[in-house]
Amino acid sequence: MRTFLVVLDNSSECLNAMRFAAMRASNTGGAVEILAVIPPEEFNHWIGVGAIMREEARERIEAHFEVFAKWMRDKHAIEPKLVIREGEVVPEILAQVREDPDIGVLVLGAGSDNPIITQLTRAASTLPVPMTIVPGEMSKERLAEVT
């Protein structure tokens, strides 16, 4: 089974990447894995404060994930898997793609200024899977047509 890996963040284009991955997985018998990365700069505090902030970040991610997961379950009969990693975003995305043999496609949402896409495009020739970039402004109807 091919797994579509989507990066969860707070960008508006993330929504279209989620939609694309869910629709594509549903139409092809695939699965969806959602990756959230907690950047290290969020925890450069005293040990106790950093631990509390890390736990709060995980709780925010899990709540955000549940919104997408419910939609995927209800609309597409897809049960997504959540993976949370800590570190720099792009290296963690690359590590997840390389470490998980079930991942078949990396799905990213494109916005007007997305440094993640720029960095991953530079690394595309070394990726073990194809990368799909979904325009953030693409309509739901058009997404349905292309998936």
CA angle 1, 35, 71 (to 5 degrees): 75
Strand partners, 85: 37
Write out the chain's pLDDT in tens, 147 residues. Answer: 699 999 998 888 899 999 999 999 999 999 999 999 998 865 555 666 777 788 888 999 999 999 999 999 999 999 999 999 999 999 999 999 999 999 999 999 987 777 788 888 888 888 899 999 998 888 889 988 888
CA angle 42, 12, 45 (to 5 degrees): 5
Strand partners, 106: 5, 131
Fold assignment, 3-146: Rossmann fold (3.40.50)
Q: Where are the domains of the chain?
A: 3-146
Task: State the chain's maximal CA–CA distance in angstroms.
Answer: 50
pTM of the full structure? 0.89
Are 60 and 66 in contact, with CB atoms under 8 Å apart? no
